[in-house]
Amino acid sequence: MKITIDLVAERAGVSKTTVSRIMNGNFAHTRDETKNRVLQVIQELDYRPNALAKGLKSSHTNVLGIVLSNLKNPFWTVVLEGVEDACRHLGYNLMICNSSEQAAMEEQYIKEFQMRRLDGIVINPTARNLELYTKLAASKYPMVVVNRRVPGLDVHHVIMNNMKGATMAVHQLLHNGRRNIAAFVYDNPYVSTWKERVDGYREALQGSGRSPEELRILELELEGGTAKSTIMRYLGEHPEIDGIFSTNNMLTLQIIEAVKEMGLKLPEDIAIVGYDETVWSQHLDPPLTTIMQPGYKMGYLAAQMLIKSIKAKRKPKPETIVLEPELIVRKSCGAVRS
């Protein structure tokens, strides 16, 4: 025998309307005596209302969806923590999906979210489903884009100031006397964050009087595990390089490995500044200088913003929040050279 609202009503000798009201904290229509009797029965039966029925009727589920690109990168687990906390504080549940940077999976998950009638979604977009995003935005489906910019898409954004972070990283290297600084980046042209970091690198160097010819930008394959060997080859061809700006925390690990394997010393021969502070940054050899981003805050704000926009009667104008990075100086960027 399934435990439904009808059963509760029957046992308590009232109609399901009354039970429903009490379940939803609406006590205006029932006297205390009745209320307590119903509450008692609910307790005894350990009744759990069917969220599907509730959602079907009321057309909202109190569930948010998030699709992100890589759960294995600790940056995202921190963001997730922020999203989770906001959801918990504001009474929402969360459905988490992993696009693995693949447009097809992203599309599938978003459609799944819609079919399940999730109240809204947070997305770190692959930036490859422009048509879908636009349709979503046009249909007023509550949505917040995080971390990456999707140009021309008029929805809420919570993003990071990547130019600033990159500039800080490069300036730190320059400050420590490095003269031939390279920037290493994964070769995915859709990821605006990486692009912006390279732009920041470019700007910082040119701003300090370097000519465009002195720019050393190396693009590495994201897949296939060829990154390390490519790095070694590149460093072999450019022995003048004495500083590296790494635009991604996973990439940084590969760079360190490559440099060590070449017998070069860190930070004496080559100084490194990496993007994204992680649990391991301070434990590496040498401890890593990094750009720290407020991931938790980004997640929290995004969820908060999304929920606000869900609850709003009239949809608010899309807003963009830009969060500022911070430089954490450790040994890997080298000391000031005399």
Partner DNA sequence: TCGATTTCGGAAACCGATTAACAAATGCGC
Partner DNA sequence: GCGCATTTGTTAATCGGTTTCCGAAATCGA
Query: Does position 93 bind a second copy by CB under 8 A?
Result: yes
Q: What is the DSSP letter of 212?
A: G
One-letter amino acid of 100: S
CB atoms within 10 A of CB 313: 4
* Partner whose binding site includes residue 179, from DNA, a second copy, none (CB under 5 to 8 Å by kind): none
How do beta strands 289-292 and 326-328 pair?
antiparallel
Q: Give the distance from CA 260 to its chain's centroid.
A: 31
- Could you say which of 72, 313, 314, 317 contacts a second copy (CB under 8 A)? 72
Contact pattern from residue 285 through residue 314 relative to a second copy, giving x for each residue in contact according to CB under 8 A and a dash for the rest: xx----------------------------
Hey, which residues does 291 pair with through a beta bridge? 275, 327
**Residue 95 Cβ, how far from a second copy at the closest point, in Å?**
5
**Spatial separation of the C-alpha atoms in residues 279 and 313, rounded to whole Å:** 42
Of residues 31 through 60, those in contact with DNA by CB under 7 A are 31, 33-35, 49-50, 53-54, 56-59
Instruction: Find the helix or strand (DSSP H, E) in which 77 lies.
Output: helix 74-90
**Residue 202 Cβ, how far from a second copy at the closest point, in Å?**
29
**Spatial separation of the C-alpha atoms in residues 116 and 122, rounded to whole Å:** 15
What tokens appear for 92 in the block? 């929402």
Taking only Cα atoms into account, the Rg of the chain, rounded to an integer number of angstroms, comes to: 26
CB atoms within 10 A of CB 278: 21
**Residue 212 Cβ, how far from a second copy at the closest point, in Å?**
34
Q: Which is nearer to a second copy, 80 or 170 (CB)?
A: 80
- Could you say which of 13, 189, 239, 316 contacts DNA (CB under 7 A)? 13
Name residue, tokens 């963001």. 79
Q: Which is nearer to DNA, 14 or 123 (CB)?
A: 14
* Partner whose binding site includes residue 17, from DNA, a second copy, none (CB under 5 to 8 Å by kind): DNA
Query: Does position 55 bind a second copy by CB under 8 A?
Result: yes
What tokens appear for 90 in the block? 């504001």
CB 62 within 8 A of CB 94: no
For residue 286, cis peptide bond before it (omega within 30 degrees of 0): yes
**Stretch binding a second copy (CB under 8 A), from 35-43, 109-117, 160-168, 222-230:** 109-117
The site for a second copy (CB under 8 A) is made up of 48-53, 55-56, 61, 63, 71-72, 74, 77-78, 80-81, 84, 93-98, 111-112, 114-117, 250, 253, 256-257, 279-280, 282-286
Which residues contact DNA (rule: CB under 7 A)?
Answer: 2-6, 13-18, 20-21, 23-24, 28-31, 33-35, 49-50, 53-54, 56-59
